[in-house]
Structure 1
Amino acid sequence: METGSAASEARRTRAGVLYALAAFFMWGLAVPLHFKLVSAVPALQILAHRIVWASVFALGLILIGRQWRKLVEALTSGSRLLLLCLSAGLIAINWLIYIWAVNSGHLVQTSLGYFINPLLNVVLGVLFLRERLNPAQIAACVVAALGVLALAVSSGEMPWVALVLAFSFGCYGLVRKIVPVAPLIGFCIESLLLTPLALGYLAHTAVNGQSVAFRGDLRLDALLILTGLSTALPLIWFAAAAQKLKLSTIGLLQYLAPSGQLALGVFAYGEAFGRIDAMAFGLIWLALAIYTVSALRSAPPVPKPASAG
Structure 2
Amino acid sequence: MKKGIIYAVLSYLIWGFLPLYWRLFQAMPAWEILGHRIVWAFVFVAVLVTCSRQWGRLKTIFLSTKSTVAVVLCSFFISMNWFLFIWAVNNNHVLETSLGYYMNPLISVLFAVIFLKEKLSAWQWASILLAGTGVGIMAVQYGQVPWVAIALAVTFSLYGLAKKLAGLDVLLGLTGETLMAMPVALGYLIYIQSQGTGTFASLSPLLMIVLLLSGAATAMPLFWFAKSMQLLPLSMVGFIQYISPTTSMLLAVFLLGEPFSQGRLVSFSFIWVALIVYSVAGFRKSRLPATN
TM-score range relative to shorter protein: over 0.9
Residue 24 (structure 2) aligned to one of 14, 37, 40 = 37
Residue 162 (structure 1) aligned to one of 137, 142, 149 = 149
- Superposed, 1:120-199 pairs within 5 Å as 120-199=107-186
| Structure 2 partner of 1:49 | 36
Alpha-carbon deviation of 1:20? 3.1
| 2:105/2:235 contact within 8 Å kept | no
Larger Rg: 1
Structure 2 counterpart of 1:19, which letter?
Answer: Y
Alpha-carbon deviation of 1:216? 6.3
Which secondary structure state, in structure 2, belongs to the residue aligned with residue 94 of structure 1? helix
| Structure 2 partner of 1:73 | 60
Structure 1 counterpart of 2:222, which letter?
Answer: L
CA displacement, residues 265-292 of structure 1 (integer Å, 9 cap, x when unaligned): 1111111211111111111011001111
Residue 7 (structure 2) aligned to one of 15, 19, 22 = 19
Residue 74 (structure 2) aligned to one of 49, 70, 87 = 87
Residues 246 and 176 of structure 1: CA distance in aligned 2, closer, same or farther (over 3 Å): closer
Residues 76 and 241 of structure 1: CA distance in aligned 2, closer, same or farther (over 3 Å): closer
Residue 222 (structure 2) aligned to one of 214, 235, 244 = 235
CA displacement, residues 67-91 of structure 1 (integer Å, 9 cap, x when unaligned): 2233121133333112211221111
157-166 vs 171-180, greater mean Cα deviation: 171-180
Structure 2 counterpart of 1:273, which letter?
Answer: F
Alpha-carbon deviation of 1:130? 2.3
| Structure 2 partner of 1:100 | 87
| Structure 2 partner of 1:7 | none
Could you list the runs of 5+ residues in structure 1 that have no partner in the other structure? Answer: 1-11, 304-309
Quote the Cα distance in structure 2 between the aligned partners of 1:93 and 1:20.
Answer: 21
Residues 248 and 130 of structure 1: CA distance in aligned 2, closer, same or farther (over 3 Å): closer
Query: What is the TM-score when the length of structure 2 is the normalising length?
Result: 0.92
Could you list the runs of 5+ residues in structure 2 that have no partner in the other structure? Answer: none
Residues 144 and 275 of structure 1: CA distance in aligned 2, closer, same or farther (over 3 Å): same
Structure 2 counterpart of 1:87, which letter?
Answer: C
263-272 vs 93-102, greater mean Cα deviation: 263-272
168-177 vs 17-26, greater mean Cα deviation: 17-26
Residues 126 and 22 of structure 1: CA distance in aligned 2, closer, same or farther (over 3 Å): closer
Structure 2 counterpart of 1:27, which letter?
Answer: W
Quote the Cα distance in structure 1 between the aligned partners of 2:147 and 2:79.
Answer: 17
Which secondary structure state, in structure 2, belongs to the residue aligned with residue 158 of structure 1? coil
CA displacement, residues 141-197 of structure 1 (integer Å, 9 cap, x when unaligned): 000000000110111100010001011111111222211312221111111101111
| Structure 2 partner of 1:3 | none
| 2:108/2:238 contact within 8 Å kept | no
Structure 1 counterpart of 2:146, which letter?
Answer: P
CA displacement, residues 228-285 of structure 1 (integer Å, 9 cap, x when unaligned): 1111111112334455567665444320100011111111111121111111111101
Residue 63 (structure 1) aligned to one of 46, 50, 65 = 50
Quote the Cα distance in structure 2 between the aligned partners of 1:302 and 1:174.
Answer: 28
270-279 vs 45-54, greater mean Cα deviation: 270-279
| Structure 2 partner of 1:6 | none
Structure 2 counterpart of 1:185, which letter?
Answer: L
Alpha-carbon deviation of 1:119? 0.4
| 1:248/1:296 contact within 8 Å kept | no
| 2:34/2:86 contact within 8 Å kept | yes
Q: How many corresponding residue pairs?
A: 290
Structure 2 counterpart of 1:63, which letter?
Answer: T
Quote the Cα distance in structure 2 between the aligned partners of 1:232 and 1:34.
Answer: 14
Residue 279 (structure 2) aligned to one of 282, 292, 295 = 292
Structure 2 counterpart of 1:50, which letter?
Answer: R
